[in-house]
A and B are shown apart, each in its own frame.
Chain A
Amino acid sequence: MDECKSFKKQYDQCFNAWFRDKFLKGSNDDSVCSELLKNYTGCVKKVMKDKDIDIGEFRPFSPNISSNYEPSKNK
């Protein structure tokens, strides 16, 4: 979203470096980008609210999300 461009740019730079240099090498500590992520998602959520974008199917993360991935009917 254009409104959050600068937040996104800062966060993406942090994430890409973290993903390449830490996560792919076995580190699970993602705290280094957490402040930038909070600023960025805060901006995105505000814009979504302002634009009335409602993600009806938003579900919390489940530890098994990748293994039990099957399409389910959500009417």
Chain B
Amino acid sequence: MKIWTVQHTFNYPWETVVQAAWNKYPNPMNTAVLGIDVIDRQVINGELHSHRLVTTRWTLPNWACALMGPISTFYAIREKLTYKPHPDDPQKTLLKQTAYVTVEGLPCSGYIENILTSKISGNAAKGRQAIEWVIEKLQHKQPL
């Protein structure tokens, strides 16, 4: 398993950023994500839980798909994003993003994990731009 992590500061308060986070997709930065749908959503003990289904265009290179399709028995990507008010400035928000990438059943599993991780890293940067883009939209009160 490969673990990748990054931190980023948004120059907006937490309330603004988390509202934008719910409305992150679709956006012009991550065009591979066609849309996102809610399957289930509940407030449990004051926590909001959502199950959502993301519809994407699969953008791995063809050779990787060809490898992973028939041979790989298991692969998984888990992501955790935490948005917190910035400890030094309540007008800012600190994002901590972690991805856990696991590929099993291939002799070159580690190599594929590295490729997936670098893709996640690039997409995460686009994701942060997308949040900024949504915030702009929210602030100009355009309908989401």
A binding-site residues for B, Cβ under 8 Å: 1, 4, 8, 11-12, 15-16, 19-20, 23-24, 28-30, 37, 40-41, 44-45, 48, 53, 55, 58, 61, 63, 65-66, 69, 71, 73-75
B111 within 8 A of partner (CB)? no
Chain B facing A: main interface SS: strand
0/1 interface trace, chain B 75-103, chain A, CB 8 Å (1 if under): 01010100000000000000000001010
Q: Which residues of B contact A19 (CB under 8 A)?
A: 19, 22, 48
Q: B74, A75: Cβ atoms under 8 Å?
A: yes
- Show 10 A/B contacts (Cβ-Cβ < 8 Å), sorted by A: A8-B37, A12-B23, A24-B19, A37-B41, A40-B37, A40-B38, A53-B53, A71-B102, A74-B76, A75-B74
Q: A4-B37, A20-B15, A61-B51 are in contact. List 20 more A-B contacts (CB 8 A).
A: A1-B55, A8-B38, A11-B38, A12-B23, A15-B22, A16-B19, A20-B19, A24-B18, A24-B19, A30-B42, A37-B38, A40-B38, A44-B37, A53-B53, A58-B39, A61-B40, A63-B44, A71-B100, A73-B76, A73-B102
In the bound assembly, the distance between CA atoms of A12 and B47 in angstroms comes to: 19
Q: Which residues of A contact B74 (CB under 8 A)?
A: 73, 75
Please name the residue on chain B nearest to A65 by beta carbon: B49
In the bound assembly, the distance between CA atoms of A24 and B15 in angstroms comes to: 7
Partner of B23, one of A16, A23, A28: A16
Q: How large is the interface on B (under 10, 10 to 19, 20 to 34, 35 or more residues)?
A: 20 to 34
B binding-site residues for A, Cβ under 8 Å: 1, 15, 18-19, 22-23, 35, 37-49, 51, 53, 55, 73-74, 76, 78, 80, 100, 102, 144
